[in-house]
Amino acid sequence: MKCPGQDTRYWGPEAVSEISCPKCGGPIEFFKDESSRKCRKCGEKVLNPKMDFGCALYCKFASQCLGTDMPPELLAKRGEMLKDRAATGVKKYLGKNFKRIGRMVKVIQYCEKIQKTEGGDPAIVTLAACLSAIAGISEGSEACEARFSAEDDAIARSILLAAGAPDEVTRRVMSILSNRGQSYRGEDLANYRCVSDALRIAEAIEEKDGRTAGTSEADATPLLTETGRKLIEQVSK
């Protein structure tokens, strides 16, 4: 049985819309799950401004329902939604620990800056950045480079589960977090480098502001990307 949200038998008149081609003005008709169509009149590829994937946006079985070649627009929306849900879950867990919440925001910002130039999966990078905020909290460590304990791991997985992250996403995110501070050789090397450098930059900011004392281990942590090295020079001035 096909998911009702994507089964055309359950769609109403609102599932179909028509717009004018921005190039020639010809009519283009879209179904709500179509990301784009070519204008029959001039051949221009036009994005669907009313694209709606319904439950596929948050359902972890969407790839099974729609196939493996899910539109990039859907993947981008799912990544944003997962990030927002995960960040909300982390904030709820941290409560009034504003230092860690502020750090999470900085790590996300620097992760996104590094990822844009160094590559990697923005969804995986951002989720790992969100969840890095809980590292070491079960053992009372406030260091940016704190390792993930078994308890931290369980908490992070529960947050991802509540956010609706697919199992494969959870596996990749946790692989990055559980290997922090070590020589990483997994499939997400580009993502790992983004997160590692963003954490090092956040730590450098805290050290400069006097909120944490620098440690020899932290100071020795190498930057893994060229973008990260440039950014840490900027914040260290």
Q: Kindly report, residue by residue over 196-207, the tens digit of the pLDDT.
A: 999 999 989 988
CA distance 109 to 103: 10
Question: Does 112 lie in the same domain as 172?
Answer: yes
Where residue 62 falls among pLDDT bands split at 50, 70, 90?
low
192 shares its domain with 138:
yes
In a domain, 1, yes or no: no
Q: 36 and 48 in contact (C-beta within 8 Å)?
A: yes
Domains: count for the chain: 2
User: Mean pLDDT, to the nearest integer, of 78-100?
Assistant: 88
Residues 118 and 82 in one domain: yes
Average pLDDT over residues 142-147: 76
Q: In this structure, which amino acid lies at residue 183?
A: S
Short-list 174, 179, 166, CA closest to 56: 166
The pLDDT of 43-54, averaged and rounded, is 72
Q: What is the pLDDT, as a whole number, of residue 70?
A: 55
Do 43 and 130 lie in one domain? The reply is: no
Q: Identify whether 100 is part of a domain.
A: yes
40 & 84 share domain: no
Statement: residue 159 has pLDDT above 90: yes
As a whole number, mean pLDDT of residues 179-190 equals 77
Average pLDDT (188-215) is: 83
Residue 192 within a domain: yes
Decide if 90 is inside a domain.
Answer: yes
For the chain, state the CA radius of gyration. Answer: 21
22 compared with 209, residue with greater pLDDT: 22
Q: Provide the pLDDT for residue 129.
A: 94
Do 39 and 107 lie in a common domain? no
Residue ranges of the alpha helices (H) in 119-187?
A: 122-131, 150-163, 167-178
Residue 67 inside a domain? The answer is: no
Distance CA 170, CA 158 (A): 10
Whether 225 and 129 share a structural domain: yes
Residue 130 banded pLDDT, cuts 50, 70, 90: very high
In a domain, 231, yes or no: yes
Does residue 21 share a domain with residue 76? no
Task: Assess if residue 8 is contained within a domain.
Answer: no
Average pLDDT over residues 66-86: 67
Residue 128, pLDDT > 50, answer: yes
Predicted local distance difference test score (pLDDT) of residue 218: 43
pLDDT score of 178: 87
Range with the largest mean pLDDT of 3-17, 79-93, 211-225: 79-93
Report the chain's mean pLDDT, rounded to a whole number.
81
User: What pLDDT, on the 0 to 100 scale, is given for residue 47?
Assistant: 74
Identify the domain containing residue 141 by its residue range: 72-236
Q: pTM (2 decimals)?
A: 0.68
29 and 144 together in one domain: no
Residue 208 lies in a domain: yes
Residue 186 is predicted with a pLDDT of 72
Same domain for 48 and 147, yes or no, is: no
Q: For residues 129 and 192, is the Cβ–Cβ distance under 8 A?
A: no
Asked if residue 195 has pLDDT above 70, the reply is: yes
Alpha-carbon distance 148 to 171, whole Å? 15
111 and 21 belong to one structural domain: no
Identify each DSSP E strand in 21-79 by its residue range: 27-31, 36-38, 45-47
Q: How far is CA 154 from the centre of its chain?
A: 19
Q: Same structural domain for residues 38 and 153?
A: no
Per-residue model confidence (pLDDT) at position 1: 46
The per-residue pLDDT for 216 is 40
Question: What is the pLDDT at residue 196?
Answer: 92
Residue 235, pLDDT score: 87
